[in-house]
Amino acid sequence: MSTLYDKLGGQPAIEQIVDELHKRIATDSILNHFFAGTDMAKQRNHLVAFLSEIFEGPKQYAGRPMDKTHAGMNLQQQHFDEIAKLLSESMAARGESPEDTKAALERVSNFKGAILNK
């Protein structure tokens, strides 16, 4: 059985999804201020590596654990919900199936506690 990473189209697909997500974040008033002053090229590389790994692709994420990365940001449920919505929209824009999008969001949701530091 193929992995979610393979179903989505591997590294090029993950990169396209992240690029689309970043475009949406840039214009999102709920989230964009969290990324002010962020090196978005570096953030892109970390997010591509993280998603690739949690979607059962290559183990390439070398960033900090999610709780350390998001510490002190005071992220709330609404912020997590918004990023999940934008990720879903980004995957739909790329033509990913509802099933694969749901599977991706479930994997991301596994990190919600760490991301929200709860």
List binding-site positions.
46, 70
Residue 84 lies in a domain: yes
Whole domain around residue 19: which residue ranges? 9-115
List binding-site positions for heme.
46, 70
- CATH number at 49 reads 1.10.490.10
Residue-level pLDDT at 117: 86
pLDDT, block means (10 residues), the chain with 118 residues: 93 98 97 94 96 95 92 94 98 97 97 92
Residue 14 lies in a domain: yes
User: What is the DSSP secondary-structure string of 44-105?
Assistant: HHHHHHHHHHHTTS-----S--HHHHTTTS---HHHHHHHHHHHHHHHHHTT--HHHHHHHH
Residue 3 lies in a domain: no
Residue 91 lies in a domain: yes
Instruction: Tell me the pTM.
Output: 0.95
Count of domains observed in the chain: 1
Residue 1 lies in a domain: no
